[in-house]
Amino acid sequence: MLFRNRTEAGWYLASKLSKYVDDPHVLVLALPRGGVPVAFEVAQALNAPLDVFLVRKLGVPGQEEVAMGAIATGGVRVLNRDIINNLRISEEDIKYVTGIERQELQRRERIYRGTRPEPTVKDRTVILVDDGLATGASMHAAVSALRRLQPGRIVVAVPVGAHETCEAFSSEADETICAREPVPFFAVGQWYGDFSPTTDQEVRELLLRAARTYEAAQPWHEPVSA
């Protein structure tokens, strides 16, 4: 059964997260870009704030497809010391690659978040949302990085995912919700009627809409600016 688009997928996923409605400790974090339209609907249904959690892979110099670590929102860096030691990657190379990827991460955060500050994660229930899980590489990096920020609970939530990938998160996240786990599973996009790319502008607009909607219900908050 296909989702028409990411909006419908978000509605369906939100129905699996109803126990978190109106929970003041909940924060919904989306993996850009495709996870944002899904997470927007989840945040609206739960009456929870929405933000993005950016992750950038740190590729091995000369073998960029191999990840020696990752950086993420909040200044977090996670390194795979086994790969670094086995490939004898120098600290200078690690620092260089980290600097380049950090600049790109910060650039994207400025585009998406504008002047709004990063959300407070410590001790909160964080629902990490993407539009699906195939290999789960980005989500694995996100969970590892998020742990460094000391949330109270991490919930991985996606509308659709490969069964074996969803199972793998049972030992990483505090809760994993894959709303649908079709078999066979080849790619996330095959389970969407419309899987067109989400643009940076759409991400920015959805985050701003979510912030305005949520804060309108919080009279002690200042109005949201772009």
Q: What percent of the chain has pLDDT over 70?
A: 96
**Domain 6-53+114-216 CATH class label:** alpha beta
The model's pLDDT over 20-56, given as tens digits with 9 standing for 90+, comes to: 999 999 999 999 999 999 999 999 999 999 999 999 8
pLDDT of residue 185 exceeding 80, the answer is yes
Give exposure, 16-26, as e/b (b: 16+ Cβ within 10 Å): ebeebeeeeeb
Instruction: Spell out the domain ranges in the chain.
Output: 6-53+114-216, 56-113
Contacts of 84 (CB under 8 A, 6+ apart): 68, 69, 94
Phi, psi of 28 (to 5 degrees): -100, 125
**Beta bridge partner(s), residue 127:** 28, 155
State residue 138's pLDDT score. Answer: 86
Domain 56-113 = CATH 3.30.1310: yes
The model's pLDDT over 108-139, given as tens digits with 9 standing for 90+, comes to: 989 998 888 888 999 999 999 999 999 888 89
53 within 8 A of 142, measured Cβ to Cβ: yes
State residue 125's pLDDT score. Answer: 98
225 within 8 A of 211, measured Cβ to Cβ: no
pLDDT of residue 101 exceeding 90, the answer is yes
The whole-number average pLDDT for the span 145-166 is 95
Task: Calculate ∠ Cα 31-39-185, nearest 5°.
Answer: 70
State residue 78's pLDDT score. Answer: 87
Which of 73-82, 85-94, 162-171 comes out lowest in average pLDDT?
Answer: 73-82
pLDDT bin (cut points 50, 70, 90) of residue 5 is very high
Fold match between domain 6-53+114-216 and domain 56-113: no
What is the distance between the terminal CA atoms of the chain, rounded to a whole angstrom? Answer: 38
**Beta bridge partner(s), residue 51:** 29
State residue 65's pLDDT score. Answer: 82
The whole-number average pLDDT for the span 165-174 is 93
Give 20 or 57, the one with higher predicted confidence.
20
Average pLDDT for the chain: 92
Rg (CA), the chain: 17
The residue written with tokens 């609206």 in the block is 44
